[in-house]
Structure 1
Amino acid sequence: LLVTLPLAVWCLGEGGLTFGRMLGVYAVMALLIGVICAVSLGLSALVPRTSTSGVLSHLLVFFLTVGTGVLFALLLQVTGEEVSGPGGFTTTEQRPERVWWMLAPNPFVVLADAAPATPTARVELIDGEVVETRAPSDLLGAMRAELRIYRLTAAERELGTGELGLGLAGLDGPPLWPTGLGIQLILAAGALILTERRLRTPSGNLPVGQRVA
């Protein structure tokens, strides 16, 4: 977090980032790092050997960041439905609203979805009509819009016209981050409880190869 702080301050000075958005992103990142540390501590307390607990911690991070995306893609193919199209042809319609929960625990998904959206502004068109537009999205904003589309039903997705319509619908769609953050906090709480019970003092003689750390 400290390494990326100078870049965030530079973006803040250039006007490409608001202070509230920067604070929100850093708060979510700190919380996610704390969750990973808590779960890793639980694995360290559960497994007596340092090397094994380290490998399990790396595998856990790999599963949360990569494995959830792979499982989501596989489930997306399994849960698709055959839909009759014009001319008697059938196509497979994907139903991401049924398997979006698989992506929810992904730390990148939680960060992108929980990050505050770019500010909106009212713009008057040539014909005098006033519309509300949103500033161009950054990487987190683009991910946020795409992720929230996954929670929309097929009928709701059809309301959007083209990529722009779906993007706007996604920005106003139901969020994923409360579910994902809730799952991660449950894992962290369980890991801390396990750590407290495993390392509770006073302790007797430890077996050979076991350490308290």
Structure 2
Amino acid sequence: MSAWFRMLRVVVGLELAQRVRSVAWYVLLGIVAVVVGGIVVILFVSLSGWQQDIGGAIFSTTIFLVMLVTSLVTPALSGGAINGDRDAGVLASTQVTQVTSMQLVLGKVLAAWIASLGFLAVCVPFMIGSALLGGLRLEAVALSIPILVLEIGVVSAIGVGLSGVIRKPILSTVVSYLVVATLSVGTLIGFGVGAVAATEEQQWPDIAWEYDEDAAGVTERCIETGTTYPQTVQRYDRVWLFLAANPYVIVADAIPPSFDQYGYPDDLFGQIAFGVRQAQIPQEPTTCADFSSSWEPDADQGREVFESTVPSWFAGLALHLALAAAAVWGAVATTRTPARTLAPGSRIA
């Protein structure tokens, strides 16, 4: 191992030693295990009566719960990593050693990342249990867990990066939470507001129904009268890119869907991805051709939606990685010594 990586390992080890000695970290792990376990038990009892293969539902729920927990806890673990040491006067003792600013920042990012992965580790028994219940697809496991690990690393990097760029620990933690909230909740709000604004008036054909009654019963027939009327529709296809940056959508959209006998996704991952894919399809006027004379399920309907739209998870993940890289670069630039300029009232150490 080169000297550069040995020094990086020292920084990671020191950071983890501080966190492992903290009783609060173990308390948080216990609380997460109890909360997630309780939700999994409730879900198992609720679904066992009407669904045979419930392993996929429990596994996808556990993945999203871990993502929710880490998005709430990781900014607190990483949001004061650098400026907190600066306020405590211990950052200078590190900066006068052979540790470079890059090693310092990356070491803190890796430590926060590893500490946050502990919340995923305590949920592994629930994931194993979901596999034993049946209905869990291998591709769902192989893709969702690595993306979840990357997303946890992104939040850790953003928190540590902002703690280096922003001088006040409280402010950097709050901004870290705001960034995470923007990616998870803000994208949904942006999509909803954009959908309200992105409206369009279309001319829809006027449809009438004729009913004939005979010995065989009552039959109905759809007839277009030849006239049209204005109809205001929501153009979700113009604002769906907001959803591409949502971390939950990224995980769901990355997993190939599995369809039931009615042609619709049969797990939570596929259902979320199906909703996002449907938002890409512009709404067209309803004609008589849209009303089928038969109500038999169309097993290809869900597949047609996925085949006629484009995946977006890689674009959202690339955006998250770019934000994390920018935050880390900013922290490296502000912690580099000797510093050429300093903000008024601030100090390098």
In the alignment, what sits opposite 1:98? 238
C-alpha contact (below 8 Å) 2:139/2:255 kept by paired residues: no
In the alignment, what sits opposite 2:151? 32
1:109, 1:7 → 2: CA distance? 22
1:3, 1:169 → 2: CA distance? 39
Equivalences for 1:57-76 in 2 at 5 Å?
A: 57-76=176-195
Decide which moves more: 100-109 or 166-175.
Answer: 166-175
Q: Deviations for 1:4-41, whole angstroms, at most 9, x for unmatched residues?
A: 21111111122221333212111111111111111122
Tell me: CA distance 1:170–1:104, structure 2 relative to 1, closer, same or farther (3 Å).
same
1:19, 1:29 → 2: CA distance? 16
Q: Deviations for 1:66-92, whole angstroms, at most 9, x for unmatched residues?
A: 111111111112111101222543211
2:138, 2:125 → 1: CA distance? 14
Counterpart among 290, 298, 306 of residue 171 in structure 1: 306
In the alignment, what sits opposite 1:129? none
Specify the SS of the correspondent of 1:103. Answer: helix
What is the TM-score of this pair, normalised by structure 2? 0.50
| TM-aligned CA deviation for residue 202 of structure 1 | 4.2
Paired residues in the alignment total: 200
C-alpha contact (below 8 Å) 1:96/1:151 kept by paired residues: yes
Q: Deviations for 1:24-71, whole angstroms, at most 9, x for unmatched residues?
A: 111111111111111122211111010000111111111111111111
In the alignment, what sits opposite 1:125? none
The amino acid that maps onto 1:167 is G
Counterpart among 314, 320, 323 of residue 184 in structure 1: 320
1:136, 1:71 → 2: CA distance? 26
* 2:329 aligned with 1:200: no
2:240, 2:268 → 1: CA distance? 20
In the alignment, what sits opposite 1:80? 199
1:110, 1:27 → 2: CA distance? 12
| Structure 1 stretches lacking a partner, 5+ long | 122-131
Specify the SS of the correspondent of 1:16. Answer: coil
- What is the RMSD of the two structures over their aligned residues, measured on CA atoms? 3.2
Q: Which has the larger radius of gyration?
A: 2
What is the TM-score of this pair, normalised by structure 1? 0.79
- Which protein has greater RCO, CA pairs closer than 8 Å, 6+ apart? 1
| Structure 2 stretches lacking a partner, 5+ long | 1-119, 207-226
| TM-aligned CA deviation for residue 203 of structure 1 | 5.2
C-alpha contact (below 8 Å) 2:187/2:246 kept by paired residues: yes
In the alignment, what sits opposite 1:116? 256
C-alpha contact (below 8 Å) 2:263/2:302 kept by paired residues: no
1:169, 1:24 → 2: CA distance? 23
